[in-house]
Each structure stands twice: as structure tokens, then as C-alpha cells.
Structure 1
Amino acid sequence: MGAGLVISAPASGVGKTTLTLALARAWRHRGLNVQCFKSGPDYIDPAFHAAATGRASVNVDSWAMDRGAISHLVSRGADADVVLAEGSMGLFDGVAAPGVSGTGATADIAEMLGWPVVLVIDPSGQAQTAAAIAAGLRDYRPGVRLAGVVLNRVASPRHEDLVRRALNDAGIAVFGALPRHAEISLPKRHLGLVQAEEQAEIGKLIDEAARFVAEHVDLDAVLRSAASWTPQPAANGLNVTPPGQRIALARDAAFSFVYPHMLEAWRGAGAEISTFSPLSDEAPDASADVCWLPGGYPELHAGKIAANARFRSGLRAFAETRPVHGECGGYMVLGTALTDADGVRHEMTGLLGLETSFAKRRMHLGYRLATLAAPMPGHRPSARLRGHEFHYSTILAQPDTPLAVVHDATGAVIAETGSQRGHATGTFFHLIAEDR
């Protein structure tokens, strides 16, 4: 039997990831086995979790997954001493219309699993009002239980005292306060944190965060606040079909946005995955049944991708006889051309007619529900796929046959339909699960 906690906050950018990594590493230093999860559609944080704990982390998502799938994924923490689920955005932030088992809010996971919430509160520019915010979050939804608060970016001892007194008066435990001047932060990029695998010094960063948090936070009190937890047997697992028996997966700094649960589900169903690096001018394994190009940062490497003739010709030859699928950045690389942020146009692989540009950035963000009009690897026509879209590219041309009718979480039809031509398919959304 282990203990479970949810790390959340009133908003994004308050310090959830740093606290999660620091707690995980600090407890690991004490000899505890720590398992992390990420609530919501984030494909970067799980790699940081794995770096901190030495155990693979996966996403749990109440909009895209049913309770059985979430229970199945969370059961991997059965042998851990403590389980931490890191939230996304604010505690109750989700979409307006419920999905499979909720709105995608962190609070859904906290209530579903019965784990109390540790709030990270940034009281910058306020004092007693921070207690009012914490009390409001505590009382907003009866099924969600607040364990206590960690203050981040506290300006001075006097500032900390004012906030602590107000929280104590509200009956809210304060586990610790992190001074503003000594803040530990991780490098950022336009789609979020720079990926863990790109940071050679990530271990040192996490160790420093753990030392800093252990100095200012009562780790024993946080651990005591966790709920005793025994995983419940899942009636069903993930509804994920591998796209093929042998999958050639693009994997490098330009193609790295893959949900860990997807790869595990593919392998669990008996598929073999071989990786190749387009940035190293490698072609997909010629013995593979299907090629999959995930998202990432192709716009940062567009010139190199355009120049890598072996990759481009190898992918084209593969696509003459076997399926090739691209998600988001991978979809863009399957297209005709990509214009980078400097306005330079780079020729891509030309398997699809899609042309995109980063010269005029515009954010596209949100859950997606797609009903396939044509088959894509692993999924039949009419299948309902749930995913998430997050990119800054603008479509200049999308001339091929639409792959799907795609709706956002409100039910509105969107223009990013995906494309299909020959054996090539692509979508702007990252697949999370198929409806049963």
C-alpha cells in the first residue's frame, strides 16, 4: 500500500513541475520509491518525472480516458511508497463540456483517485488574499480534499509571516515557503519546458531543486498528508491499437512528442518499435510495416530536414508501399513545405500537399475529437479518436483529401482536418485514445 498526492495550483506558471520534481528526488534520496503521473495532455513533463524518479511516468486524462483506462495506468504505482500526480493549469481548469470521464481538470483525477491536493501558491503582489484564494479552492468542489499549501516566490520573512498567519486562520496547513530570490527554474521554450532529454544537466538541476525544497519545506508533513492508497483492479485497459506489428518511429530532437502510454500500449499489444533519426539523415527501417512521425520541433531544424536527402528519399520509398503517419510536427514534415519563423521556406518530403508557416505565429490549442473519414494506421474509418492539439503554425495550404471531421471540446468543427494521400496520413492533433 502506498500513498497518493496531487500537486496543483491556482494557475499555470506557479511552480508545480519544480515542486513535483524536487519532492520526488528528495524522497528518492531518502530511499523511497516514487511514482509520478501527469494529469492532462502534456508530453514533456513525464520525461522530467522519469529523470527525477528513475521510473517511467505517463499521462492520465479525464477528458480523453475512461475510469478503467485511468485505473489501469495508475496501477503502475502499486509498488511505490508515494505517488505524485502533477496537475496542469489551475486545479479546476478544464473544458466547458465533459469528455469521457470529466473535463480534463486536475480536480477530476484528485476526486477519482481520492488523493488530497498540495497547492503551490505564488503570493507575489499580495498577502492575506493568498489565503482567500486557497480557501476558495479548498471549498469549491466537495469531493476534492486540500492537504495544504507550499508558498513559492515569497518576497521576505515579513511577507511569509503575513501569508502564513492568514492561512493558519483559514485552517490551511503551510508545508513550507520558497524564497523568491533563490527560485529554481527550468529552461523554457515556446511549447513549454525544454525537453528533459535535451538537457545534459537535468540531473544536477533536479538535485539542486530537491536540496532547495528540502531546506524550506517539511517533507515529512507533506508525506503524512498523503492518502493511503491501494490500486483498484481495472476492468479494462487502454483502447489503443498499434498501427502495425513493426513500427519505424522517428525519434530525435525534432520528433519527440510521444505520449508514453501510447508506446507502452503498442508494445503491450505485441508491436515492435524501431527508432530512426531524420536529423541524422536516417531512413525508416525497411523491414517495418508502418512509419510514424510524432510531433516535436521541426521548425527549429527545417533547414537540416530539407537537406537530408537520405531521410527524405527513404521515407518516400517507404510510403510507396506502406503507411506513413505524421502528428503535428510530423504532419508538417510530410507536407510540401514549411516556412520558419524567419520567413525562410524549406522543402519538406512532399508526401502530402500541406504547407505551413511559422512566420506569423498563431496558437492552436485544445482537445480534439476526430471522426475518421478514411483509415489511418491502427484505426478504421468512422473511428472516434480523442487527442490534443498545440502548435503555432499557420496552414497555407491543405489540399489533400481530409482525413477526418474534427471538433474541438465545445463541439465546433475546426479547419485542421488532417490529410490523406496514397499511403500517407497526418493530423495536427496528438492521439491520446480511441473511444470504445
Structure 2
Amino acid sequence: MAAGLVISAPASGVGKTTLTLALARAWRNSGLRVQCFKSGPDYIDPAFHAAATGRASVNVDSWAMDRGTISHLVSRGTDADVVLAEGSMGLFDGVAARGVCGTGATADIAEMLDWPVLLVIDPSGQAQTAAAIAAGLRDYRPGVRLAGVVLNRVASPRHEALVRRALLDAGIAVFGALPRHAEISLPKRHLGLVQAEEQTEISKLIDEAARFVAEHVDLDAVLQSAASWSPPSAGSGLNVTPPGQRIALARDAAFSFVYPHMLEAWRAAGAEISTFSPLADEGPDPGADVCWLPGGYPELQAGRIAANARFRSGLRAFAETRPVHGECGGYMVLGSALTDADGVSHEMTGLLGLETSFAKRRMHLGYRLAELAAPMPGHQAGARLRGHEFHYSTIVAQPDTPLAVVHDATGAVIAETGSRRGQATGTFFHLIAEDR
């Protein structure tokens, strides 16, 4: 029987990912089978989880997914010894309006699975107030249980002692305290952490984090605080229709933001996936019946993409007879032009008229609910799709026929409608699930 634990914090940037990776690797090194999940729509962290555990990690999301889907995804932890769900943002942070079975908050997953929460607290600039914050999180929602706390970035032994005493007085277990340690900081860029596959030293970094955490945290006590857990009924599956039988998927440093559960669902439905690299000037497999360009960092590679004539001509030829769909960065590359951070405009594939600019930066972030006005690969007109949008590019022009009516999590209509022209479609949101 697995032991389940949620790792969360009062806010972003406190050290949830580093602690999750360190615990996972330390327990794996001791011979335990460790399974990780990511609560919420972050599509970067699961690749780090896989690097730490040697097992694929997926997202679970209470705003976009129903309970059956979450149960199906979590059931992959059946054969593990310990299962860790890393949270997003703060423990109770979600959207204002409820989605399919929650607001997207990490607390939703903790309560749904009945797993206790290990809090990461950064007491920088605080002492006893850190205990007040932890106690407030413990008591805020009756269905959410607190296992205890790991302190991160403590300034000195005296600082640690003050915070520990306050937490213990509040009846909150302290499993360890981590002093500041720059060597295990994960590099970041504008959409979050630099992706795991781009970091050649990622395994060494995780090993160092595991060693450091093992020195300062009582790993046995943390493990004992986890809940004994048997997965609920896995349900009937993910209810995801693949976009085609043979899917050509762009996959490299510029096109890498794909939710792992989507690819698994496509394969489980019998689809075959072949990958190609636009950065290596490769076109889609001519034997495929649909092409999918995911998001990533095309704004950092715009010059190379514009210069890769074989990729561009191959994609255009493909789109003459078969559907091509782009998400976020992929959508931008299907457009006519992309202006980079230096203000240089680069010609894209021109399958759509979309023009975007990374020089005029503005953050677009949040859940999206789209009702399709026309079909897109895998989904018919009228389908209600749930996804998440996160980018800094600005629309300069979006002249084609809108693909969908798109709302944010509050129900407000937004301008990023997606586009369609001929066989090409695109959206700024990354698809997570379809309402059934």
C-alpha cells in the first residue's frame, strides 16, 4: 500500500519543487518506488519529477478534470511505495469560480485524496509569525490535514530555534530546517523553470538536493506522516479523443509544452505519434494524418525557425491536405510573423494570419473554457474544451475566423479566440480536458 503526501506552501517561490525532487530522489536512492504528480496546470514540473523518480509524472487538476479522470491518473501510483503530489502556488490558491470539481487549488487534491499536507515555509524576515501562517493554513479548511512543516532558507541556528519553538507551541511538527544553499537553485526564465531536458546536469543537481535535504530533514518522520492509501476506482479512462490516428508531433526545445496525460490518452486510444524537430529543419511525417505543434519557447528561437525552409515548406505542404493545429507557441509559429524581444520581426509559416510580439510583453495567465465555433483536430464544433494559457506575447493582428468563444475562469469573454483558416487551427490555451 502506498503512502500519499501533498507538498505545498503559503505561496509560490518558497521551494516546493526543490523539496519534492529532493525527497523523491532520496527515497528512490534508498530503494523505495516513488511516484509524483503535479497539482494544477504547470506543464514544466512533471519532467523534473520524472528525472528524480524514473517514473512519468502527470498533472491532476480540479478545475479542468472530473473526479474520475483524477482517479484514473492517480491510479498509476498503485505499485509505488510513496506518492507525492506537488502543489501549485499557495495551498488554497485557485480561481474564484468553481470548475469541474474544484477551483484548481492544491487543497482540492489533498482533500479529495485524503492525503496530509507537508508545508514548505520560508521564514525569511520572520520568526514567530511563520508559525501563525502555518497555523492559519492548518485551520483554514476542515477537510485538509497538515502533516507538518519543513523550514527553508533559515538564516541561522538562532533563527531556526525561534521558529521551531513557535511551531511546536502551536502543535505543528517540524521535520527539518534547510539553511540557504545556492548550489541547488533551479534556473528560471520567463515561463518558470528552465525545462529539465535543457539541463544536462539536472540529475547531479537533484542528487545534491537529495543529499542536502537528507542532512537536514528527518526523512523517516516525513514518510511516517504520509497517509496509507489505496487508489480509488480508476474510472473508465481519460475521455480524450486523439486528433488523428497518426499524429506528427513537433518536439524539441522550442516545442515541448505538452501535458503528459494527453499524449498517454492519445496512445491509449490507439493513436501513433511520430515526432519531428522544427529546430533541426525537419517537417512532419508525410505518412501522418494530422500535425500538432505544441507550445514552448519559439520566441527564443524565432530566427532559427524563420531560416528553416525545409520545415516551413514541409508544414505548408502537409497543411494543403491534412489538419495542422498549434497551441500557444505552436499557434504563434502557424502565424505570419513573430517579433522577438529585440524588436526584430521574423516570418513564420503563414498558415494563419496571426502576428505576435514578444517585444511588447504582457503576461496572459489563467484557465480557459472554450466553446468551439468550428471543428479542430479531435473535437467537433460545439465542444467545450478546458485548458490553461500562460505566455507573454501580445497579439498584433488576429485576422482569421475565430476558432472559439473563449472565457476565463470568471466567465468573462477574452480576446484570444484562436483562429482557423483552411486546414490550420490554433489556440493560445493548452488543452487539458473536454467537458463530457
* TM-score interval, smaller chain: over 0.9
CA distance in 2, matches of 1:244, 1:127: 56
In 1, Cα distance between equivalents of 2:146 and 2:184: 25
Offset of residue 140 of structure 1: 0.1
Deviation digits for residues 288-324 of structure 1, max 9, x if unmatched? 0000000000000000000000000000000000000
* Partner deviation per Cα, 1:45-89 (whole Å, 9 max, x = no partner): 000000000000000000000000000000000000000000000
Question: In the alignment, is the contact (CA less than 8 A) between 1:44 and 1:193 conserved in 2?
Answer: yes
Provide, for residues 160-194 of structure 1, a one-character-per-residue CA deviation record: whole Å limited to 9, x for no partner. 00000000000000000000255621010100000
Cα distance between partner residues in 1 of 2:163 and 2:235: 45
2 CA distance for matches of 1:183 and 1:89? 23
2:431 corresponding residue in structure 1: 431
Match of 2:343 in 1: 343
Structure 1's 310 and 88: CA in aligned 2 closer, same or farther, altered over 3 A? same
In the TM superposition, what is the alpha-carbon distance from 1:203 to its structure 2 partner?
Answer: 0.3
Structure 2 runs not aligned, ≥5 long? none
Deviation at 1:116, TM superposition (A): 0.2
Shift of 1:239: 1.9
Deviation string for 1:201-226 (max 9, x for gaps)? 00000000000000000000000000
* Secondary structure of 1:209 counterpart: helix
What is the CA distance between 1:235 and its match in structure 2? 2.8
Q: Distance in 2 between matches of 1:279 and 1:43?
A: 21
How high is the sequence identity, in percent, across the aligned residues? 92
- Shift of the alpha carbon at 1:233? 1.2
Contact 1:153 1:183 in 2 (8 A): no
Q: Secondary structure of 2:389's partner?
A: strand
CA shift for structure 1 position 427: 0.0
CA distance in 2, matches of 1:319, 1:53: 39
Whole-angstrom CA distance in 2 between matches of 1:415 and 1:216: 49
Question: In the TM superposition, what whole-angstrom CA distance separates every residue of 1:106-154 from its partner, at most 9, and x where no partner exists?
Answer: 0000000000000000000000000000000000000000000000000
Provide closer, same or farther for how the CA distance between residues 182 and 295 of structure 1 changes in structure 2, counting only shifts above 3 A.
Answer: closer
Does structure 2 conserve the Cα–Cα contact (< 8 Å) formed by 1:239 and 1:435? Answer: no
Write the distance in 1 (CA, Å) between the matches of 2:237 and 2:141.
Answer: 28
Once the two structures are superposed, the pairs formed by residues 251-330 of structure 1 within 5 Å of their partners are: 251-330=251-330
Partner secondary structure for residue 406 of structure 1: strand
Q: Normalising to structure 2: TM-score of the pair?
A: 1.00
User: What is the Cα deviation at residue 98 of structure 1?
Assistant: 0.3
Contact (CA 8 Å) 1:37, 1:85: kept in 2 or not? yes
Q: Secondary structure at the match of 1:63?
A: coil
Are the aligned partners of 1:64 and 1:432 in contact in 2 as well (CA < 8 Å)?
yes
Q: CA deviation at 1:237?
A: 2.0
Structure 2: distance between partners of 1:61 and 1:236? 17
**3-state SS, counterpart of residue 184 of structure 2:** coil
What's 1:33 paired with?
Answer: 33
CA change 1:41–1:402 in 2 (3 A) is same
Q: Distance in 2 between matches of 1:407 and 1:239?
A: 22
Tell me, yes or no, if the aligned pair for 1:111 and 1:144 is still in contact at 8 Å: yes
Alignment partner, residue 88 of structure 1? 88
Inter-partner Cα distance in structure 1 for 2:177 and 2:429: 39
How far off its partner does 1:236 sit?
Answer: 2.8
Q: Counterpart of 1:338 in 2: which secondary structure? A: strand
1:234 to partner: Cα distance: 2.5
CA–CA distance in structure 1, aligned partners of residues 424 and 17 of structure 2: 37
CA distance in 1, matches of 2:239, 2:434: 6
- Residue 334 of structure 2 is aligned to residue 331 of structure 1: no
Structure 2 SS opposite 1:388: strand
Q: What's the CA shift for 1:340?
A: 0.2
**How far has the Cα of 1:103 moved from its partner?**
0.1
Does the aligned pair in 2 maintain the 1:138–1:145 contact within 8 Å?
yes
Give the SS at the match of 1:101. Answer: coil
Aligned partners of 1:396 and 1:54: how far apart in 2? 42
Secondary structure of residue in 2 paired with 1:183: helix
Task: Tell me the CA shift for residue 238 of structure 1.
Answer: 1.2
Task: Give the whole-Å Cα distance in 2 for the aligned partners of 1:231 and 1:304.
Answer: 46
Go from structure 1 to structure 2 and tell me whether the alpha carbon gap of 1:13 and 1:183 turns closer, same or farther (over 3 Å shift).
farther
**What is the TM-score when the length of structure 1 is the normalising length?**
1.00
Aligned mates of 1:358, 1:329 — CA distance in 2: 11
C-alpha separation in 1, matches of 2:148 and 2:177 = 12
Once the 2 structures are TM-superposed, how far is the Cα of residue 360 of structure 1 from its aligned partner? 1.3
Paired residues of 1:36 and 1:84 also in contact (CA < 8 A): yes
**Residues in 2 aligned to 1:318 and 1:135: alpha-carbon distance in whole angstroms:** 58
**Shift, 1:42, TM fit:** 0.8
CA contact (8 A) 1:419 1:425 kept: yes
Report deviation, 1:339. 0.2
Q: Shift of residue 37 of structure 1?
A: 0.1
Per the alignment, residue 200 of structure 2 pairs with 200
3-state SS in 1 of match to 2:305: helix
How far is 1:200 from its partner? Answer: 0.6
Match of 1:177, SS state, is strand
Stretch moving more, 182-191 or 413-422: 182-191
Give the Cα–Cα distance (whole angstroms) in 2 for the partners of residues 415 and 273 of structure 1.
32
SS at 1:186's partner residue? coil
**Partner Cα distance (1:182, 1:164) in 2:** 23
Deviations 1:1-53 (A, max 9, x none): 11000000000000000000000000001000000000000110000000000
> What is the CA-CA distance between 1:431 and the residue it aligns to?
0.1
Across the aligned residues of Structure 1 and Structure 2, the Cα RMSD in angstroms comes to: 0.6
Q: Take 1:5 and 1:337, find their aligned partners in 2: how far apart are those partners? A: 46
